[in-house]
Structure 1
Amino acid sequence: MRLNASSCASYVLTLTVILGSTNIYAAATERLPDSRSFTVIKKKSAPTTAESSALAHYSLGIVYDNQGMVDEAIKEYNKALKHDSESSSIHTRLGTNYLLKNRLADAIRHLKRAKEIDPESTKARTLLALIYTSQNKFNEATGEYQEVIRLNPGSIEVLTSLADLYVLQEKMDEAAGIYEKLLDKKEDSPFLHFNLALIYSRLGKIDLAEERFKRVIELKPDYIEAYLALGTLYEIKKDMSGAAAFYKEALDKDPLNKRVHYHLGSIYYRQKRVEEAIAQYEFLLKIDAEEIGAYVDLAYVYLSEKRNTDAEKVLKRADALDLKSERFFLAYGLTKSAQKEYTEAAHYYEKVLEYNPNNAQAHFYLGAAYERAKEIKKAAASFRRSIELDPQNADAYNYLGYMLVEDDKDLDEAMDLIKKALEFQPENGAYVDSLGWAYYKKGMIDDALTQLEKAVILEDADPVLRDHLGDVYFEKGSFEKARREWRKALELDPQQEGIKEKLERDL
């Protein structure tokens, strides 16, 4: 989690919240330095000119801070430091502002110095912990937080930060322990109960998580995130009706919450309540006509129901509003593939890759579209690129292997590819068929028969598998068995003219 230009803004926002809680950015009248952190205040005698100058520049720096003028504040603090180099307050301020400017090395240097001057400075240690966390130096961050807790045992903010650090380190038991202790002090905090529930979820303690989320709702009935979390837990437990009930409760509190409508749409679809799922997504689009995700999800509902024309109509509505996204173009490509318009499908998959050239799924679908459009070389290149990006893409291995088999080229490589697919999904009937068909093409008829008989057991309603098995039986001289398989294939897909010809020829 190193800071970079893209993450700096969100990190600074987090920092600002924490700074507010530690009063580092309090108004100048509220933030006079104490005697341990500012040399001039330690002295009982009148301050020297240098000491007075240090305090003046320091105070002006605070004024600039309060106005958000960070660069000007840094200049004043550096001037103050020239007059009083042993002030932990000045070093802390400089460390803070350098952190805001993403000058982490300078921030660390000044915060360490502040800590050396004033070992009990919790502010400097807290900021150092934040920086160390951003640099993945979790042990150093943990040490700083633990020291802050020793100095200020009652700090809920710091204990929470330490717990979050443990979460980053995947030390869930330690994180849970801290939240449990915090709740001993502040049992009525819905925030603490919610975070502990999340940690219990990560630990697989679903029942304990459920109890905590329900406690959150008791304490704060409008805590929408708790309803969403409970809905998700019930989805994990495969209790879709229970999940839907929590999402509906959330809508009672916030009827226009888009995330809840997304969840309900998904739940209804999985319950085969297709029209209710459609209604949820359409309502989402009434709430926000430019919610591109709702158009895409609704299109997928229609596609899965083989309502391809309806899917295209939905996507055209989004297109008319000039709504574009990576998911949008992928859905459009799949729609065109379902309509057997493969050249158009390839166009949309290429659009996906303009958004994200490393989308392995898009490369796979592009390969499939090219293959259907008889552009075999392009198809092979797309499948190979998909495999490069996702070495566990079993479909890409199988499709490329099967394509090579059909083309009667590189049968040894084809078999290696198909076997690789089977390593990931050994009981996939389509993959077993591909291997059997490769054996058939190589003249290894007995091996082909073994694989194809297994394939139709795994996938008995696939006309291609039945056709292949019929061909092998025919090659073995088992003509009646061959005709039986071809008839089954024709029953499953009456449009297969090639099978009709086989039956007419060999009857």
Structure 2
Amino acid sequence: MASRSTLRFSELLLFCFLATLPTSAVGAGQTSSQLSHTERLYQEGMSLVEQRKLDEALQAFNRGLESDPSNRVLLNAIGATYTLKGDAEKAQDCFQKVLKIDPEFLPARKNLAMTYFNSGKYDLAGQEFDELASNPDAGPLAHLFLGMIAEKRKQYEAAVAQFKQAGNLVFQSGEAILSFARSLYERRQHEKSELILQRLAGVAGLSAVDYYEAGLLYSKCGRNDQALEALTKAREMNAELPGLEYQRALILDKMGRAAEALKILQGVMVQKPDRDSLQLLGEIAGRDGKLEAAAEAFRKVIEIEPDHEEAYLSLSTLLMDNENDPLGLTVVETGLAHLPQSYRLQVQKGAILEDLGRHQEAREIFRSAIRRQADHRDALIGLAVSQVYGGEIPESVETLASGVKQFPNDYYVHYFYGLALRKLAGLPRMDAKAVERKAAQALERSIHLNPAFADAYFLLGKFYVDNNPELAAKNFQTALRLNPRHDAAKYQLGRLYVGLGKREEGQKLLSQVNEQRAEMERRPKIILMGQ
């Protein structure tokens, strides 16, 4: 079966030799008897092409060549017909024969260039279109294809320039509109990208792939309603399009319609499970409290693709979050058996060992992970936290001081540096006020780098509980605004309100904390099949 682009550009090729060549061109240089015979066979072949009887059309064109083997119009028609059949090599051979006979024969050069493009031979296509670009009759078409070639090469600025030179011709092709819109998006011209996308409404004969690509781009632009509408149209045309159901579910989840997303993904899991759909199913089910479904989805991913790192991480995290660290450790170790060089799985193993109280082993794992790659901030933080829990607070501060120098713009490193310094301030023979000032500076730097990080506000608030309750309350309130389920901030603010005489408000917050803790205790544990 021909690809989407082959069919699209084959129609352009057919247009080239149907509409641009007068009948008189067929018999140029022939005797009157030859002319009658050749013209009749050419017209017969054209009629057969219009009926999509391509093999019979080729027979008619070839009979015409018997009396005139060098007829450039017939050779061009044969090449275009081979393109419609999806035989690019034979098509290219015909067009090249025409250009050897007459290098100025414009329809054959256009067709050769487009056939190269359809075959993914962008270097050769580009050479032909560059030559055509200076021709007034072929310039817009050449710029159109040069724009698409530049976009495929991720040369987005050049692509936009070429599309602008193509003029209104861009808006006659769905693929060209999508290519132009993608180029604008990558140039961070998102509003213009959306405006170009809207021009798809004026193009007839869009394919399922066109609508699918439009849906992806609308989603990138944050236009989820339009994205879902485009993907729905794609599904109406071809429900078997690879990745379509995954993208529909992904967008529905973004729109807060998780139940609909789950229904789609569960259908995929039964009919034709794929890695990405199962991974998304596990993530949504986990968030929705459907722990067994989430665990089963991640297990299926591992079964389908044992080298997929993300599935081991997701499943082990789900187990850790539900207090099943031993099984989480087994999952990670299975992953490391398949992916022994995985930095992320190594860090995850260290985190689980730390949760299990195996501090020394955890630190060894974190140090090993640090040596694996230059960007090792997660392993460094893991090591520092393990040192804190293991009572090695000065060593933890030293580890994080090194981290702050290596990763000066990482808010999380600064946050843990502030946390470790706060612990250090409580040790004997320390200048507590000086260390606390340094800790507060680290937390303020963390907030500066990420103003939406609730934990930093919470910890900063704890510094001010005794000497500046109003400022402490302000920080706790900010933490709760950013994360309404921040139990620790809610608890501290509740206690602070009670101490400040706001007893009713304080008791309300403390009651909410107790309810949330009770809810956590009622959450079911994961029991995997076969365990």
Deviation for aligned residue 1:352: 3.8
Which residue matches 2:377? 326
- Mapped partners of 1:405, 1:214: distance in 2: 49
- Mapped partners of 2:475, 2:341: distance in 1: 40
Identify if the C-alpha distance between structure 1 residues 169 and 43 changes in structure 2 by more than 3 Å, giving closer, same or farther.
farther
- Mapped partners of 1:458, 1:118: distance in 2: 62
Of 295, 303, 323 in structure 2, the residue corresponding to residue 244 of structure 1 is: 295
Structure 2 residue 196 is the aligned partner of structure 1 residue 144: no
Structure 2 residue 190 is the aligned partner of structure 1 residue 116: no
TM-score by length of 2: 0.65
- Give SS of 1:299's match: helix
Counterparts of 1:24-103 in structure 2, within 5 Å, are 33-35=13-15, 41=21, 44-45=24-25, 52=104, 70=123, 74=126, 77-100=129-152
* Identical amino acids, percent of aligned pairs: 17
Deviation for aligned residue 1:220: 1.8
Which residue matches 1:313? 364
Deviation for aligned residue 1:159: 1.1
Q: Which amino acid aligns with 1:422?
A: F
- Give SS of 1:302's match: helix
Identify if the C-alpha distance between structure 1 residues 299 and 37 changes in structure 2 by more than 3 Å, giving closer, same or farther.
farther
Counterparts of 1:277-426 in structure 2, within 5 Å, are 277-319=328-370, 325-354=376-405, 356-374=407-425, 375-400=435-460, 402-403=462-463, 411=467, 414-424=468-478
Deviation for aligned residue 1:238: 0.7
Structure 2 residue 313 is the aligned partner of structure 1 residue 262: yes
Q: Does the 8 A contact of 2:457 with 2:479 survive in 1? A: no
Deviation for aligned residue 1:377: 4.0
Q: Which amino acid aligns with 2:490?
A: N
Of 124, 132, 137 in structure 1, the residue corresponding to residue 184 of structure 2 is: 132
Identify if the C-alpha distance between structure 1 residues 163 and 404 changes in structure 2 by more than 3 Å, giving closer, same or farther.
closer
Deviation for aligned residue 1:331: 1.0
- Give SS of 1:233's match: helix
Q: In the TM superposition, what whole-angstrom CA distance separates every residue of 1:462-489 from its partner, at most 9, and x where no partner exists? A: xxxxxxxxxxxxxxxxxxxxxxxxxxxx
Q: Does the 8 A contact of 1:167 with 1:175 survive in 2? A: yes
- Mapped partners of 2:396, 2:327: distance in 1: 29
Which shifted more, 234-243 or 375-384? 375-384
Deviation for aligned residue 1:240: 1.2
The runs of 5 or more residues in structure 2 that have no matched partner are: 29-71, 73-98, 426-434, 481-488, 515-531
Cα root mean square deviation, aligned: 4.4
Identify if the C-alpha distance between structure 1 residues 311 and 123 changes in structure 2 by more than 3 Å, giving closer, same or farther.
closer
Identify if the C-alpha distance between structure 1 residues 144 and 253 changes in structure 2 by more than 3 Å, giving closer, same or farther.
same
Identify if the C-alpha distance between structure 1 residues 354 and 39 changes in structure 2 by more than 3 Å, giving closer, same or farther.
farther
- Give SS of 2:243's match: helix
Which residue matches 1:502? none
- Give SS of 1:184's match: helix
Q: Which of structures 1 and 2 has the larger relative contact order (alpha carbons within 8 angstroms, sep 6+)?
A: 2
Identify if the C-alpha distance between structure 1 residues 205 and 42 changes in structure 2 by more than 3 Å, giving closer, same or farther.
farther
Deviation for aligned residue 1:330: 1.4
Identify if the C-alpha distance between structure 1 residues 129 and 394 changes in structure 2 by more than 3 Å, giving closer, same or farther.
closer
Identify if the C-alpha distance between structure 1 residues 247 and 76 changes in structure 2 by more than 3 Å, giving closer, same or farther.
closer
Deviation for aligned residue 1:52: 0.3
Counterparts of 1:154-303 in structure 2, within 5 Å, are 155-189=207-241, 191-221=243-273, 223-303=274-354
Q: Which amino acid aligns with 1:272?
A: E
TM-score by length of 1: 0.68
Which residue matches 2:89? none
Q: Does the 8 A contact of 1:128 with 1:144 survive in 2? A: no
Identify if the C-alpha distance between structure 1 residues 38 and 435 changes in structure 2 by more than 3 Å, giving closer, same or farther.
farther
Deviation for aligned residue 1:417: 2.9
Identify if the C-alpha distance between structure 1 residues 285 and 60 changes in structure 2 by more than 3 Å, giving closer, same or farther.
same
Q: In the TM superposition, what whole-angstrom CA distance separates every residue of 1:38-78 from its partner, at most 9, and x where no partner exists? A: 997579546999980767876886798779674x8656533
Deviation for aligned residue 1:259: 2.6
Deviation for aligned residue 1:117: 5.3
Which shifted more, 54-63 or 286-295? 54-63
The runs of 5 or more residues in structure 1 that have no matched partner are: 1-19, 437-445, 462-507
Q: Does the 8 A contact of 1:361 with 1:386 survive in 2? A: yes
- Mapped partners of 1:298, 1:384: distance in 2: 31
Which residue matches 1:474? none
- Give SS of 1:82's match: coil
Q: Does the 8 A contact of 1:432 with 1:455 survive in 2? A: yes
Which residue matches 1:429? 491
Q: Does the 8 A contact of 2:133 with 2:140 survive in 1? A: no
- Mapped partners of 1:392, 1:184: distance in 2: 41
Deviation for aligned residue 1:35: 4.7
Q: Does the 8 A contact of 2:366 with 2:380 survive in 1? A: no
